[in-house]
Chain A
Amino acid sequence: MDWFILQLLNGLDKGSAYALIALGLTLIFGTLGVVNFAHGALFMIGAFCAVTLSRILTLSHQVVDETKTDFLGNPLKVDVPYVYDIFGESMGASIIDWAVPLSILFAIPVMIGIGVIMERGLIKHFYKRPHADQILVTFGLAIVLQEIIKYYFGANPIPTPAPEAFTGSFDFGALLGFDPGSIIYPYWRIIYFIFAAIIIGGVFAFLQFTTFGMVVRAGMADRETVGLLGINIDRRFTIMFGLAAAVAGLAGVMYTPINSPNYHMGMDFLVLSFVVVVVGGMGSLPGAVLAGFLLGILESFASMREVIEILPGINQVIIYLVAIIILLTRPRGLMGRKGVMED
């Protein structure tokens, strides 16, 4: 039983990332009708917001330490962060330690800005073009964005640890009456799951309980009629693009302590997230979330050694296999609506 809970937890945290990215993708598709292949790049840029803030906080001046030498035998130059000078060493170290959570505040305006610029500057010109054109242009944009990141940050992963207070693992085994240590789970992954749940809940609440959200939902259902009522639906959709970019960006920020960010991380998630969207049902927000968690959990169980021994390679194809079965039995996906992507 303990192995089951452990793999379930794994699936939930993996599903959180899929669900967050797929949610943004679905928001953009549902509102603007655009298939955005640059969405993974937004996730990656969010992660690099954390790297950037971390670098800003560790901006340093050099002090020569005559007692030590560097690799060439010269007196060692020690980097002293400016935040140490401003806040003192103890406080300064704490601020640097909390760089990832602080990056949330930094990433929100940056990601909304990038989203709005992207939509106004490029995407809007492709609203009436075929989906194939949209895919090509957004995929091209994704490659450009990742090359820019690689140029400035390099190709190697950059460690961006969680605050010291959140390193280590929680012992679910002891809590649930199993052997202590049999079900342990990293604190940060638990936080990631809770964070994802809050963001997903927030987006749903925003769409469900605000006037803005109501107009957006109306626009998603019938854009033309809402426009005829004198409502500037385009402006609201632009804001929704910014919001979707922010959701992807925040997912990226919080993901950095789980895996060191690199320029390619967006592409790693993109294809799977599209499968999630299709399985969930194009344009269905609850479907995206449901499919995200479902496929995350399936992938987790398929990676178990006992499963791989019976079905070698199943860990690499399980998501696609399930996607095929679901699409054969439910062509619109789990919660897809009639008429979406069927023209």
Chain B
Amino acid sequence: MSKTNLTRRGVLKTGAVAGAGLALPTYLSAGSHTGFTNAPGDSSVTLGFNVPQTGPYADEGADELRAYELAVEHLNGGGDGGMLSTFSSKALDGTGILGRKVEYVTGDTQTKSDAARASAKSMIEKDGAIMITGGSSSGVAVAVQALCQEAGVIFMAGLTHSNDTTGKDKKANGFRHFFNSYMSGAALAPILAKNYGTDRKAYHLTADYNWGYTTEEAVRSSTEAMGWETVGQVLTPLTQTDFSSYITPVLQSDADVLVLNHYGGNMVNSLTNAVQFGLRDRQVNGKNFEIVVPLYSRLMAKGAGANVKGIFGSTNWHWSLQDEGSKAFVKSFGTKYGFPPSQAAHTCYVQALLYADAVQRAGSFAPCAVVEALEGFEFDGMGNGPTLYRAEDHQCFKDVLVVKGKENPTSEFDLLEIVEVTPVDQVTYAPDHPQFAGGALGTCNNGA
């Protein structure tokens, strides 16, 4: 007579182990035979474009998606090749990535961290995306970057300007081409000193979230270093639409400069309100009152209309640049879509190409091989002059543009003029700079 060793405890244990195994996220098990998450087959590779398709930054997201579609077209040998012809690395030849046709899936970040993580997770687990890229917010970038680190895929950030993305929240699997708050402050301060003098009193209105804090800190430290005094600082709710009650106290202070650390709709509304209250017509301390917007985008400038005229800010890239890379990209994008690309479109297009190039040079899709290929990579011909992807923090170092609202625009796209191309040396900082303190890259994760 046979006797089984089946016990209640044993069944429960076995069941728990089996259940945990079944419940294991697919990205931890899929493709494990290849040694990394979502290893592509022989014919195609899938990229995940995670951009805001709904919500307040949907227009910026639409421009990012256009740029990604253009990049995919160029990577697969379509169109005029765009920046592939001006890119200093010649590893890409229009036959896809490592001979595989590039395909893509899209997700909607909604500019909400939880939604962005959910869409990125879905693209990784269900669609087999090997790289996630895009986004229009630092909160989203930090959240998705952390997810990609866990999942073992590469994250190529889209538009994210907070110091923290490559500061305290940096990750080994994440890379940022876009500039940051520190660079804005460092580029803007000398121009502000030159145009407005070193004896100024600044009042900051700052959006009450992570990006606002780092931008205010960067602009304050840069302007105070050259002699400006900060006489007021107020955090404004992110949901604020009418800024009049925050602007009238500025009238009562002895400030002669208002710095608007706002982005998107916040910036459009606060700048519009400030101009309505006649701040730009005021004389304080014997000087003309001035307004500064640290981070500009063309889409925001369009929303603010004539109010941006003459106001200084900084930007990552502008379509009017005359280097060969920018001209090639503007021609490709403009011919396909009928209007010039935004800075968000530019950074996303470049990030897609940089990823593809890194895989091609590494000869592998394995994230750790890609990380190695991108770390310390120096390149040119992508619209920002000679650029370095610094190994210590995965931040791109390149020239920064200081721009000004154009007095006489010739079209709805011709809203900003470049005042100065600030050389990269002036915006470079040490990896352990206090504004980027805390956090560590850690080690790359291949997943699987």
Interface residue ranges, A against B (CB under 8 Å): 2-3, 6-7, 10-11, 13-14, 68, 70-72, 76, 150, 154-159, 161, 167-169, 181-186, 188-189, 258-260, 262, 264-265, 268, 299-301, 303-306, 308, 315-316
Contact = CB atoms under 8 A, between A and B. Distances in A.
A335 to B, nearest CB: 25
Interface string B389-412: 000000000000000000000110
A268 B302 contact: no
Nearest to A9: B248
A13 B243 CA distance: 12
Contact of A264 (B56, B283, B300, B335): B56
B242 interface: yes
B58 A154 contact: yes
Nearest to B299: A156
Nearest to A173: B251
Interface residues of B, number: 53
Contact of A258 (B242, B334, B411): B242
A231 B253 CA distance: 61
Interface string B296-336: 00011011111100000000000110000000001100110
Contact of B410 (A76, A182, A186, A301): A76
Contact of B237 (A13, A188, A258, A316): A316
B272 A260 contact: yes
B413 interface: yes
A315 B239 CA distance: 12
A320 B366 CA distance: 52
B285 interface: no
B269 interface: yes
A161 to B, nearest CB: 6
Residue of B235, B244, B281 with most partner-chain A CB within 10 A:
B244
A43 B435 CA distance: 43
A6 B307 CA distance: 23
B228 interface: no
Contacts of B251: 6, 181-184
Contact of B59 (A154, A169, A182, A186): A154
B252 A2 contact: yes
B197 interface: no
A154 B63 CA distance: 12
Contacts of B330: 71-72
Nearest to B341: A71
B234 A308 contact: yes
Contact of B245 (A183, A184, A299): A299
B241 interface: yes
Residue of B232, B272, B276 with most partner-chain A CB within 10 A:
B276
A159 B276 contact: no
Contact of B57 (A155, A185, A188): A155
A150 B278 contact: no
A71 B220 CA distance: 36
B273 interface: yes
Given A262-B56, A265-B241, A304-B249, A157 B265 contact: yes
Contacts of A306: 249
B340 interface: yes
B104 interface: no
A260 B334 contact: no
B126 interface: no
Nearest to A316: B237
Contacts of A308: 234-235
Given A155-B58, A169-B277, A7 B239 contact: no
B244 A71 contact: no
A156 B306 contact: no
Given A182-B251, A305-B249, A259 B241 contact: yes
A184 B278 contact: yes
A305 B278 contact: no
B303 A158 contact: yes
Given A71-B319, A260-B268, A262-B303, 20 more contacts: A3-B252, A71-B339, A72-B330, A72-B334, A155-B56, A155-B57, A156-B302, A167-B276, A168-B281, A182-B251, A182-B252, A184-B278, A258-B242, A260-B269, A262-B265, A303-B234, A303-B245, A303-B249, A304-B245, A306-B249
Contact of B282 (A181, A262, A301): A181
Nearest to A79: B411
